[in-house]
Every structure is written in structure tokens, then in C-alpha cells.
Amino acid sequence: MTPETFCEQFATFAEAPNGVAKLRELILQLAVQGKLGTQDVNDELASVLADRIEAERARRIKACELRDSADERGVDESILPFALPPTWTWVRLGRIMQKMGAGSTPLGGKKVYVDDGVIFLRSQNVWDDGLVLDDVARITPEVHQDMSGTWVEPGDVLLNITGASIGRSALVPDDFGEANVSQHVAILRLIDKDVRQFLHLCVISPFFQATIMRVQVGVSREGLSMTRLREFPIPLPPLSEQRRIVGKVDQLLGLCDELAARQAARREARERLVGATLDRLVSASWDRLPACLPAAKQSRGIRQQPPSTPAHTDKRTLNESADTRQAGSLSHAHRLCDHFDRLFDTPTTLPQLRQAILQLAVQGQLVPQDPNDEPADELLERARMECVDTSDDGEAIDDAMDSTNESDELQLEQPASWKLIRFADIISYGPRNGISPKPVQHVTKTKSLTLSATTSGTFDGRHVKYLTEEFPADSFLWLKDGDILIQRSNSEHYVGAAAIYRGEPNDFVYPDLMMKVRVASCIDVAFAHLILMSPPSRAYFRTRATGTSGSMRKINKTTVKMLPFPLPPLSEQKRIVSKVTELLSLCDALEDKMTQAESASTQLLAAAVAMAQE
């Protein structure tokens, strides 16, 4: 790859996933290979520079200013990772160093740190883009004097040699004052400090970092010995070219910073725009929903009486209100369509769109209402005929939730033809918890699901464990087609997540951390699942789950039964499910298209990296 081609494709590379970070690595790799700029035949050869450094090294050794070592000046060409331009040369790192050594920790450790004193640099202070002194430790001048072997000088290259930050490096500024380093940081002090800036680029390049990872020592491979570090081969350009390379790298890395800032600003602006647009589209509020619903009556033969409608609120008023809401939503929907390509141009924006689709669905704003549909009241009566409490724990519904504020309930925004109920009103079986006997490592006849089988919101029968215990054919633990599984215990993100089991009966049992329900046969089970996975229901379960933050959260059967459930006519349920399926499929297709585009950018960048390493 020529420098001209690289610059032409610069912005394209940056748009790949994680492109800016990879671009920074590519810049450094090209720099140390001599491919970032052109060579000048008038430059002094790097071999002349190396000879001059070697002569100065010999002088210092003779003057007892520098200790001799057994390092060979030459580099074994068979181990060199890439070819260099003719004006460059390879040297061993140890041959161009005046000092190479790790620091040390003062006696007493942290106990000797003081609030005001000499800077004591640790690995957390050393970063590739410079020293970070926000939490820097300090030691007394006396301790500093006792640790003269770890003094830092301007122009030193510092390198982390242990721990998770191994390989991180910083160049000490020319105006830096007194400091020491800990045993986790090595000092690389050059014989010719004019080489320091290029050496730092070399140290943080992918080439040098890969060498570090390859030669780490110790059982945990988290240490870098000075002996091995001295042997590292280093590409050395002519001094004039080093300056040109450093300037070019600074320019390109600065451009990377600008591109990253623009991408972040664009992403933030897009997310705000998407959020605001979708919020306006789904402007109906569910904040007061749970408080204004009556408790569902679970005792057989007891029916919930619908609240009376105030005399001044007639059906025509409700219909006009619904029409007004729908017209407003359509207006926002048109704006959404006009700017769709601008809003949803990356996969990260699609989750919000999917959630908005579900939100519109449960608010009755996704498909039109049909006055010829069977009223939701009549559908509810048919459903209640099937609803018998078959849960196995005898949990009682909180009587305190039996009160209702009728005026509040009438303020809820939903189509007039819908009925707002509790989930328990349409549950024909359950909820019932599963069972979790000890699994075995070999295949058996009994397959029990794991929690991963339903966390995505769809059933995945590949996530199973095997049990030696056998269950009778009529056991409630066996799943039947159309059963809904709800995560009763999981992380905050997944608690309450639900999936429909579609498959043969008596093929799977389910674990104790799930509960199973079945809805009345006159209810579309796919619509019930849609309600369970909608944003209002997911928020309802999260806010009512017990357990501390960061641990497994739990919901009980009463919470599931009391879930607010907007019930449309059955025909409308089917239309909603069909429309949601269609729109979510379009989202999937759009995501695939975006992913393919990102993959093409990634392949282009990978090809550039491969060419750079040839």
C-alpha cells in the first residue's frame, strides 16, 4: 500500500466497526515499516546513525559511565518480521540504550506516600498518549534520594512490564521534573535522545506489542524481563526521516481523534434524534398504569365488574380522543418515514425501533380498529370461563390493590374498543414453577431447559441439560405447544422475559427459575407474548423484582398475575401480531444489510492491515 492510497482510503477505514482504533494501529505499523512516507536519498543512512551511537556507547563503557553487556550488535535476519527500506537498519534495543531497568517500590510501600513530595510513577500513570497524573503517588525527598536507581529523566521512554497494562508506554516530556518509577515500570534511556520520539512510536506499535506478548515470562505470562527486552530487534530509520515520520504520525493520529470525536457527536445526536422521534410517536404514558387497575379476582365464580363511565364521557368522546391520538401518531410516523435512512443507518439504532414497534402495538396505534370486531368485553367473558386458578402455591393477591380510581383509569390512552385487565383474567393455567434436580453430564431421555433457552424472547431448544429423573406423561412439568415460559429469576435485564414453546408435547421439562402459564384458548397466544415482551411489561417486571442490584432478581406469581394487560378484540390481536411480525422482519432485513456493509468496511481495513504487514 502506497502512502497516497492509504490517505485516500483514510476516512473509509475509519467507518469500519472499531475502525478508528484499528486505524491508529495501522498508522503505527506503517510508520515503523517505512511505509508511511517516502525515503529521501539525501538523508544520512541509518547505518551511519547506528555507528555513531555504537561509538558513543563504547566511549561511555571505556569511561565507566556504562556497563558493557554481552549483546551482539547484529540482528538475526531469519527472525526479522518484515523488510526495511534500503536506508534503514535493524538494531538490538539494548545496543542503543544508556539505561534499561525496572524501578522499585520504597520500603513500607503505600505507607510512605505523602501528600506533597516527589512524583512516584506507577503503571496506572503510564499511558501511550502520555503520563496521567490525576492519582499520582508522591514520596518524600529523602526516599527519592535513597532510590537514585529509579530516577526519571526528561526524554526517557517508560514501559509497563507487568500486569494487565503490560506494553503500555509513555514518553517523559522534556520539561518534566523529578520522579521515580515503581517495579512495574521500566526506564528506557537512549544514548542518543534524538531517537526518543520514533522509539516511542515503535514501542506502542503492533509489531513491538506482539513481540512483548510472545516473550512474556512467568507462570501467568505477565512479566517482561530486561534480558529479553534488550534483545528486541528495532527498525532504525535515518534521523531526518524519523522526524518526518513522527510529524506524519502526529498529524494522522490527530485526524483519528477528530474522526472519533465526530463519530461520537454524530452517534449522540442520532440517538437523541431517534429517541425524540420515537418518543413522540409513542407518546401515550403508562406511568400510572399499575396503580389505576383493579385487582383480578382469582376465586372461581367471582367476576370483576367494569368501572362505571361518568355521564359526561360517552363513547363518541372516547372515539374522538382515540382518533386524535392516532392522527398525531400518524403525523410523527410520516416524519419518521421521511428521515428513516438518516435515523436508522447503524445496527445500534434498531433496538429502539423494535421497542417502538412493540410500544405502538400495545397502545393500539399500529393497526386500525374495526367496529365490526367482537367487543373486548365479550371476549373477556369467554376467556374467564376457562380461567381457573391452578397455581400450586396458594399465593393470594394483595387486597390493597383492589381499590381503583375510576377517573384515573379513564385517562389512560388506549382505543375505546379495548379492555384494560390483569393478566390473571386470561390465564387458563398457572403460573407454576418448574423443577431443578441435579443434572448429569451424559445424554438421557429427560431434557430440562436452561435459562438461556428463553432469554432472547424466543424459544431455543438447544439450551438443555439432562436429568436421570423420569416424569409421568401427565406431569405438569412437560411442555405443550403454546405454553408460555416466564423467567421468574434472572438478572435485572432478563427477569420477566418470556417465550412461547412451539414443539411436540412431553419433549422438555422446565427449570425452577421459570414459571409456566397458558392463556385461554380464545386469546391469541402470540399477542399475549407480545404484551409480555413489550416495553411497559418489561419495565413492570423490572421495577417489581426483588433482590439487590447486581444479583439475581426475582418476581413471584402474584406479580405475573397482576400484570396490566390491554386486551383488544381477537381479530385485532391477530392483525397486530401479523403487523408486528412483518415490521420486525423488516428490521431484521435492515440489520442484515447494515451488518453486510460494516463487514465490507472491516474486510477492506483488514486487507489494508495485511498489505501493511507484507
pLDDT tens-digit series, residues 476-518: 999 999 999 999 999 999 999 999 999 999 999 999 999 999 9
Local confidence band at 398 (pLDDT 50, 70, 90 cut-offs): very low
pLDDT at 412: 45
CB 40 within 8 A of CB 241: yes
What's the chain's average pLDDT? Answer: 82
Nearest to 210 by CA among 245, 170, 166: 166
pLDDT at 19: 79
- Residue 300 pLDDT > 60: no
- Residue 166 pLDDT > 70: yes
**DSSP output for 294-351:** PPPP-STT--PPPPPPPTT--HHHHHHHHHHHHHHHHHHHHHHHHTHHHHS-SGGGHH
DSSP 8-state code for residue 610:
H
pLDDT at 307: 39
Tens digits of per-residue pLDDT, 3-42? 556 666 666 667 677 778 888 988 999 999 999 888 999 9
Q: Percent of the chain at pLDDT above 70?
A: 79
CB 53 within 8 A of CB 261: no
Arithmetic mean of pLDDT, 80-92: 92
Domains annotated on the chain, with CATH:
44-237 (3.90.220.20), 282-304+319-596 (3.90.220.20)
Local confidence band at 586 (pLDDT 50, 70, 90 cut-offs): confident
Please tell me the distance from the alpha carbon of residue 442 to that of residue 444, in angstroms, as a whole number. 6
Nearest to 414 by CA among 540, 536, 584: 536
Nearest to 156 by CA among 197, 96, 105: 197
Local confidence band at 71 (pLDDT 50, 70, 90 cut-offs): low
Please tell me the distance from the alpha carbon of residue 397 to that of residue 31, in angstroms, as a whole number. 70
Please tell me the distance from the alpha carbon of residue 79 to that of residue 83, in angstroms, as a whole number. 11
pLDDT at 350: 83
Nearest to 284 by CA among 529, 536, 580: 536
Across 434-577, where does the E strand assignment appear? 446-449, 464-467, 484-487, 489-490, 498-500, 514-519, 553-554, 564-567
pLDDT at 413: 64
Arithmetic mean of pLDDT, 257-281: 79
Tens digits of per-residue pLDDT, 174-229? 999 999 999 999 999 999 999 999 999 999 999 999 999 887 755 445 678 888 89
Please count the other Cβ atoms lying within 10 Å of the Cβ belonging to residue 554. 16
Tens digits of per-residue pLDDT, 335-380? 555 556 666 767 777 888 888 889 889 988 888 999 999 999 999 9
Please tell me the chain's helix, strand, coil percentages from 3-state DSSP, rounded to the nearest 5. Answer: 45, 15, 40
pLDDT at 12: 67
Please count the other Cβ atoms lying within 10 Å of the Cβ belonging to residue 549. 6
pLDDT at 607: 74
**DSSP output for 163-192:** STTTT-EEEPPTT---EEE-TTEEEEEESS
Nearest to 204 by CA among 120, 295, 315, 128: 128
Local confidence band at 74 (pLDDT 50, 70, 90 cut-offs): low
pLDDT at 392: 52
Local confidence band at 521 (pLDDT 50, 70, 90 cut-offs): very high
Q: Percent of the chain at pLDDT above 90?
A: 53
Local confidence band at 302 (pLDDT 50, 70, 90 cut-offs): very low
pLDDT at 309: 38
Tens digits of per-residue pLDDT, 537-584? 999 999 999 987 667 899 999 999 999 999 999 999 999 999 999 989
Arithmetic mean of pLDDT, 270-294: 58
